[in-house]
Amino acid sequence: MNKSILVKGLLICLVLLSSLLVPDAAMAARPDAASHLIAVAGDATSIALSWRDNSDDEDGFRILRETEVEGVYVEIAEVAANRTNYGNINLKPGTHYSYRVNAFNDDGDSAPSNTASATTEEAVVRVTSPDGGEEWAWNETHNITWTSNGEGFQAQIRYRYDDSAWIQIATVPNTNSYSWTVPNVNSSHVRVAVRLLLDGDFACVDQSSTDFTIRGVALLIPVVPLESVPAAPSELACSYHVPTVTLTWEDNASNETGFRIERKTGSGAYAELGTVGANVTSYDDSITPTPGTAYTYRVRAYNGAGNSSYSNEREFELAEMLAAPLSPLDLAAESVSDSSIRLTWDNNGSNSGVEVERKTASSPFAKVAETSSGDADYTDAGLFEGTYTYRVRAFNEGLSGDRIYSSYSNEASAAVSAVTVEPPESTETSETSSQTVLRFYIDSTEYYVQGPSDTAGRVQTMDTAPIIEGGRTLLPIRYVSEPLGARVGWEAALDQVTVQLGGQTIVLWINNGTARVNGVETAIDPANPAVTPIIVPPGRTMLPLRFIAENLGCRVEWNAALREVTVTYPVG
């Protein structure tokens, strides 16, 4: 009897023990918690979130926001697996919000991330037109315009004249513009006001800075200005590609009928070559020049009042007569790696070199390289996933640097697969760690990469060349981030770029001179607020190189003579 009781007791203990182990097994199958959650207010009605994904088995992430009850969070959205950012919109202006993020899969939710908070900006509206001093006539149509700092508002537009009460014009979606048919009011003391409403509640208001005038049409006396002689063009320049001298100039007038182009040969007299219409700033002169003979050009604008003064004179003299080379034949393109394409062709005779041009489906042809005399192949490296189309043309070059080109070859295309650069598992370095060195050149799509395992270095090609804007270098940041192992995120709804490397996080916004570095507002260039991230055709985001690189722990050096920027990581 005692033995039976003992066996039953052991069985009960085993059942209880197995039931206690089940939750731990289930917990082990849940994804790891997200971390490094950051919240940044974009404007009066939006906050951007970003976080670190620490799991590889999540089905997605739940975005939770604190309710009006402190410590109580409710789910406001779900995003897909591997997503690390979210834009929370249609928020209330001047309001504090706190967030958490949970990873989840079929076995349940992870532990919550850290809590991140941000406060939306106070709502602001600014009437820009009419802003005072304008004179509008009855029944004319004019645009009332304003600026604001949020989405989801309704705009209530009103006007008043003399000492009248405010008269409502319309309530419309906040598009920052409204076409208004001017009412039959005679007054020189008129103002327009714009009130922003959010869910029917008043948010903010602004009105014209000073009075403007509304008059009856009969009171408006049209003034016909006397036509004046146009301003003279300037900066006349010329270039030569057989058999054409191409002239270009700066148009400094707004009232010209056109431009007259003149040329003289040697010490002879000027003669008019022809005319072009208003706003045209180039002219092609097809001539067969005699080597050693100077040809001098000048341009002036004209209209009904007469001719402007002449532009500067520009002299052209050919050192030798060049013969055009034959067009290259049989251009072929072949993918030779996941990031490079090799081109081959038949030179079809001698030449001074060959120019290589490339395009993608979303961009026009652009020159990417030129070869030396006799070369008939080129390898285009550093490419990203996609299909690339090429064409080449030969050229002969004279002693003075003038060139004459052949016609283009046939076009040839090839595709490369994606190049994946994984971020490093750790950014810790020792004094003996190897460095990554990048060299970029202003207005050049070629750049130099030397990595820890690539001591010889290599030349790569980017699709958009670095530029100088506001005295600072801007370039597509992917060509810095990928060799260093940094992560770059883009939030189109907020025009926001996030760059992360190790423990450093930089958040920037297009056309905004202020960024956030590890959550702290930081001026990109305190001495020049005009330095901001920009977007250039065909949609490439350009970021200020020095600000990004130095805040990621890089050393940045500038060589003015070579127009070269060198980025070294890590510094030590």
Please give the pLDDT value at position 118.
92
Biggest CA–CA distance in the chain, Å, is 135
For 401, residues 6+ apart whose C-beta sits below 8 A from its C-beta are none
User: What is the mean pLDDT of the segment spanning 564-570?
Assistant: 86
Please give the pLDDT value at position 103.
95
- Count of residues in the chain: 572
Rounded Cα distance between 17 and 5, Å, is: 18
What is the amino acid identity at position 69? V
For 111, residues 6+ apart whose C-beta sits below 8 A from its C-beta are 33, 102
**With 70 as the cut, is the pLDDT of residue 14 above it?**
no
Residue with the two structure tokens 């897909």 = 80
Q: How confident is the model at residue 35 (pLDDT cuts 50, 70, 90)?
A: very high
- Please tell me the pTM assigned to this model: 0.35
170/224: higher pLDDT: 170
Cis peptide before 476 (omega within 30 of 0): no
Please give the pLDDT value at position 572.
67
Highest mean pLDDT among 61-65, 366-370, 435-439: 61-65
Rounded Cα distance between 545 and 533, Å, is: 10
User: What is the mean pLDDT of the segment spanning 543-571?
Assistant: 83
Rounded Cα distance between 466 and 469, Å, is: 10
Please give the pLDDT value at position 424.
34
Highest mean pLDDT among 222-226, 325-329, 358-362, 438-442: 325-329
Structure tokens at 247: 């002239």
Q: In 227-264, which positions are buried (b, 16+ CB within 10 angstroms) versus exposed (e)?
A: eebbebbeebebebebeebebebebebeebeebbbbbb
Please give the pLDDT value at position 73.
94
**With 60 as the cut, is the pLDDT of residue 554 above it?**
yes
Q: How confident is the model at residue 9 (pLDDT cuts 50, 70, 90)?
A: low
Q: What is the mean pLDDT of the chain?
A: 84
Please give the pLDDT value at position 223.
55
Provide the 10 A C-beta neighbour count for residue 52.
Answer: 16
User: What is the mean pLDDT of the segment spanning 145-154?
Assistant: 89
User: What is the mean pLDDT of the segment spanning 359-388?
Assistant: 83
Rounded Cα distance between 528 and 337, Å, is: 43
**With 80 as the cut, is the pLDDT of residue 92 above it?**
yes
- In Å, what is the CA distance from 40 to each residue of 50, 96, 113, 435, 516? 9, 11, 16, 33, 8
Rounded Cα distance between 390 and 272, Å, is: 41
Please report, rounded to a whole number, the percentage of residues in the chain having pLDDT higher than 70: 86
Q: How confident is the model at residue 201 (pLDDT cuts 50, 70, 90)?
A: confident
* Terminal C-alpha separation, the chain: 78
443/45: higher pLDDT: 45
User: What is the mean pLDDT of the segment spanning 40-64?
Assistant: 92
| pLDDT single digits (tens) 236-291 | 998 776 667 889 999 999 999 999 999 999 999 999 999 999 999 999 998 877 77
| pLDDT single digits (tens) 463-501 | 888 888 767 788 887 888 888 888 888 777 677 888 888
Please give the pLDDT value at position 55.
94
399/480: higher pLDDT: 480
Please give the pLDDT value at position 230.
92
Q: How confident is the model at residue 355 (pLDDT cuts 50, 70, 90)?
A: very high
